[in-house]
Chain A
Amino acid sequence: MGQQTALYASTLADVVESHVGGLYAALHRRAELWSDQRQPAEFWQPSVELFLRENPALLAISHSDPSRPPLGSEDGIRLLHDMMPTIHQSAADAEGDFTVGPVLVDGRPLFGLRVRTELANPPAEIFAAFDPGIALKALLDERALGYGLRVSVGDQEIYRRVPPDAEMMLDLTYSDSAALGVGQSWTLSAWPTSTTVLGFYDQGPLLVLAAGLAASALIALSVHYGTLAWRRADALRAANLELERQIEETRRGRGDLEALSSELEARVDQRTSELNETIVELEMFNYSVSHDLRGPLGAVINFAAILREDYESRLDAQGKDILSRIVHSASAAVSMMDALLAYSRSGRSELHKMPLDMTALVQEVVGEFVAATPSLAGAIKVGDLPDAVADESMMRFVFTNLISNACKFAREGESPAVEVGGSVAAQTATYYVRDEGVGFDMRFSEKLFRVFERLHSADAYPGHGVGLAIVARMVRRHGGRVWAQGAVGKGATFYFTIPVLEDGGSSDGRA
């Protein structure tokens, strides 16, 4: 710190020296100009006044030529006047053309300056009153921040600036000398103010404090953030654990779900395969029953027939009646077997879909009916039917069966009146076969399409109750549905639909 103050003092001394030296040099140059006879006399006054204004530390300037009156402030001229004996004294002692003499005028430390120039003819002398205090004040006041300053020449103090807080630190004074070029040595003393000292001394503690603060702040911050981070980490870890738990739970849930789902699927698969097995078994049973019973039943028919043929003469009327019933029943049984076989086949046979002209198909069917039963001519009206993509043989069976039924169930004593028609709506072709026959009770309409279900006695209306079941099965295999409307004595209408397929698809649904 001492070093720093010494350096400060030395630097300020240099500043003072160069400034004051500069002022002296300028004054010297001016002195030559002001003494030049070639210059008009009018040049003296404004030039000096300008110079004085530029250098406020110069209080007044006078010239050895009486034609050039002294200039400066009134007080300055007076002071200069007072100083003149001392200046002359000094000049007599000094060599050279520049003399500075410290003068105490009214207790005020002033310098008297004398500049001699040989360039003028006759040689001239310039005198100036210089207040170093003003010069130093202008020069040092601004630079004295944080320091007490004192400039002295010999024991004569010519400048002192003491900041209010500087006193207590007087023992820290450092001094340096400024050689002011004219043999005068100025001593510049400087001492730091308490603030500056604090600045020096407290820098350590401050630094420590600051560093400590900073460090502790940092530590605090890091602790804070660390804590926060840990807390966040803990929270995150907890959240993570929770999330993992949830994920695990979800996964377990999903696993359970998947397990359940696959179990369900497996169960469905099993059920499906069981169902398929059952269906196959049923079909096989159906088939083998039909097939295996058919033989023995056929034998009953055959031998009853043979008995009747070969032993007719030995049977009485009652015996013949019994034989007739045996043949009839066995034949009915075989016929039912065949119907059952047909029903079985309708569910198993392949579906060969193709675009069909349904109107033409129905007209063919009707043609066959009329060929077999000429009385039906004109009884069956066929409207315009929408085309369909369907299995031709199945559609033929469906219409044959429905038209056959419609004719069969005509009211007693009336000839059949059957109408076949259809329409398309919402990607579905709907067909109907309507009759004005005996109709049926709507309460039992569902039974119509079940195997071996009948709404009318077999005696009155022969049949096995399989035809409509086969119809329903065939329609369902096409993805359509079948239903009936009717009322007892008021006819019946059988409807069925066939989906209109753009792609003529070949789905093979099994009913």
Chain B
Amino acid sequence: MEERRAEVLLVEDDSNDVAVALRALQRHSLGARVKVLRDGAELLDYLEQSSRNNPPKLILLDLKMPRLDGRAALRELRTRETTRHVPIVVVSSSSQQSDVRDCYELGANSFVVKQFDPYAPGEYLVSTVRYWLDMNEVAH
């Protein structure tokens, strides 16, 4: 059982983004397992089943998703005891002021705009995840 391994949840409906993110994250040893969930509802279902004793170390959350979108998921995560203190980074194509503000108000720890670097695709996520996992280490 890889029980003690940290878990990072990637909540993203866009398969392109998932592919690029997974490729980038897997090229680096982050010491964390990445679990992909397709939308907010799937995320909450997953947390119901699995997070009794092992909450995720980090949640990467897209905003525009079918069923339960990023905002609603964020609101829900912050009301639940088990995920109240889990770092949540919103990863969105939007750089809209209102989106950024709303997410922080709903309890996001960070807001990252999706970047397209033709020389290092998805790399921006690696540094983000690394940063928050390190923060987790410090916190514990």
Hey, which bits of chain A sit against chain B, CB under 8 A? 287, 291-292, 294-299, 301-306, 308-309, 327-328, 330-331, 334, 338, 341, 345, 348-349
With contacts A295-B17, A330-B116 taken as known, whether A302 is within 8 angstroms of B95 at the C-beta atoms is no
With contacts A302-B20, A302-B122 taken as known, whether A345 is within 8 angstroms of B97 at the C-beta atoms is yes
For the complex with contacts A291-B96, A306-B121, 20 further pairs of A-B residues with Cβ separation under 8 Å are A291-B93, A294-B114, A295-B114, A297-B116, A298-B115, A301-B121, A302-B20, A302-B116, A302-B121, A305-B118, A305-B120, A306-B20, A306-B23, A327-B118, A330-B116, A331-B118, A334-B116, A338-B95, A341-B95, A345-B97
**From residue B65, how far is it (CB to closest CB) to chain A in Å?**
12
With contacts A295-B93, A299-B17 taken as known, whether A304 is within 8 angstroms of B118 at the C-beta atoms is yes
Is residue B14 within 8 Å, beta carbon to beta carbon, of the partner chain? yes
B93-A294 in contact (CB<8A) = yes
Name the A residues within 8 Å of B16 (CB-CB): 295-296, 299, 302-303
Q: For A307, give the chain B residue with the smallest CB separation.
A: B121
Which chain B residues (110-140) contact chain A, with CB distance < 8 Å? 114-122
Closest 3 CB pairs of A and B: A299-B16, A298-B116, A301-B116
Interface of B is mostly: loop
Is residue B109 within 8 Å, beta carbon to beta carbon, of the partner chain? no
A295-B121 in contact (CB<8A) = no
Is residue B94 within 8 Å, beta carbon to beta carbon, of the partner chain? yes
Name the A residues within 8 Å of B119 (CB-CB): 305
Q: For A345, give the chain B residue with the smallest CB separation.
A: B97
Cα distance A297–B16 in the bound complex, in angstroms: 11
**From residue A448, how far is it (CB to closest CB) to chain B in Å?**
26
Cα distance A345–B95 in the bound complex, in angstroms: 9
Q: For A294, give the chain B residue with the smallest CB separation.
A: B93
Hey, which bits of chain B sit against chain A, CB under 8 A? 14, 16-17, 20, 23, 93-97, 114-122
A291-B116 in contact (CB<8A) = no
**From residue A167, how far is it (CB to closest CB) to chain B in Å?**
131
Name the A residues within 8 Å of B121 (CB-CB): 301-303, 305-306, 309
Cα distance A291–B96 in the bound complex, in angstroms: 9
Cα distance A292–B92 in the bound complex, in angstroms: 11
Name the A residues within 8 Å of B94 (CB-CB): 291
**From residue B120, how far is it (CB to closest CB) to chain A in Å?**
8
Cα distance A127–B122 in the bound complex, in angstroms: 174
Q: For B63, give the chain A residue with the smallest CB separation.
A: A291
Name the A residues within 8 Å of B17 (CB-CB): 295, 299
Name the A residues within 8 Å of B120 (CB-CB): 305
Name the B residues within 8 Å of A304 (CB-CB): 118
Cα distance A101–B124 in the bound complex, in angstroms: 171
Name the A residues within 8 Å of B23 (CB-CB): 306
- 20 A-B pairs, CB-CB below 8 angstroms? A291-B93, A291-B94, A291-B96, A295-B93, A298-B93, A298-B114, A299-B14, A299-B20, A301-B117, A302-B116, A302-B121, A303-B121, A304-B118, A305-B118, A328-B118, A330-B116, A331-B116, A345-B97, A348-B97, A349-B97
Name the A residues within 8 Å of B122 (CB-CB): 302
With contacts A298-B114, A305-B117, A327-B118 taken as known, whether A287 is within 8 angstroms of B97 at the C-beta atoms is no
Q: A296, A299, A308, A338: which has the most chain B beta carbons within 10 Å? A: A299
**From residue B125, how far is it (CB to closest CB) to chain A in Å?**
11
Q: For B98, give the chain A residue with the smallest CB separation.
A: A348
Q: For A323, give the chain B residue with the smallest CB separation.
A: B118
Cα distance A349–B96 in the bound complex, in angstroms: 10
Name the A residues within 8 Å of B20 (CB-CB): 299, 302-303, 306
Name the B residues within 8 Å of A334 (CB-CB): 116
Name the A residues within 8 Å of B95 (CB-CB): 338, 341, 345
Cα distance A309–B24 in the bound complex, in angstroms: 12
Name the A residues within 8 Å of B115 (CB-CB): 298
Cα distance A338–B115 in the bound complex, in angstroms: 11
Name the B residues within 8 Å of A297 (CB-CB): 116
Name the A residues within 8 Å of B96 (CB-CB): 287, 291, 345
**From residue A300, how far is it (CB to closest CB) to chain B in Å?**
8
Q: For A338, give the chain B residue with the smallest CB separation.
A: B95
Cα distance A349–B115 in the bound complex, in angstroms: 23
Name the A residues within 8 Å of B14 (CB-CB): 295, 299
Q: For B21, give the chain A residue with the smallest CB separation.
A: A302
Cα distance A184–B114 in the bound complex, in angstroms: 160
**From residue A439, how far is it (CB to closest CB) to chain B in Å?**
34
Name the A residues within 8 Å of B118 (CB-CB): 301, 304-305, 308, 327-328, 330-331
Q: B94, B95, B118: which has the most chain A beta carbons within 10 Å? A: B118
Name the A residues within 8 Å of B114 (CB-CB): 294-295, 298
**From residue A326, how far is it (CB to closest CB) to chain B in Å?**
9
Cα distance A328–B120 in the bound complex, in angstroms: 14
Name the A residues within 8 Å of B116 (CB-CB): 297-298, 301-302, 330-331, 334
Cα distance A301–B122 in the bound complex, in angstroms: 11
**From residue B131, how far is it (CB to closest CB) to chain A in Å?**
21
Name the A residues within 8 Å of B117 (CB-CB): 301, 305
**From residue B60, how far is it (CB to closest CB) to chain A in Å?**
16
**From residue B103, how far is it (CB to closest CB) to chain A in Å?**
15
Cα distance A301–B23 in the bound complex, in angstroms: 15
Name the B residues within 8 Å of A303 (CB-CB): 16, 20, 121
Name the B residues within 8 Å of A327 (CB-CB): 118
**From residue A423, how far is it (CB to closest CB) to chain B in Å?**
34
Q: For A306, give the chain B residue with the smallest CB separation.
A: B121
Q: For B122, give the chain A residue with the smallest CB separation.
A: A302
Cα distance A400–B45 in the bound complex, in angstroms: 49
Cα distance A292–B14 in the bound complex, in angstroms: 11
Cα distance A348–B20 in the bound complex, in angstroms: 32
**From residue A214, how far is it (CB to closest CB) to chain B in Å?**
98
**From residue A43, how far is it (CB to closest CB) to chain B in Å?**
146
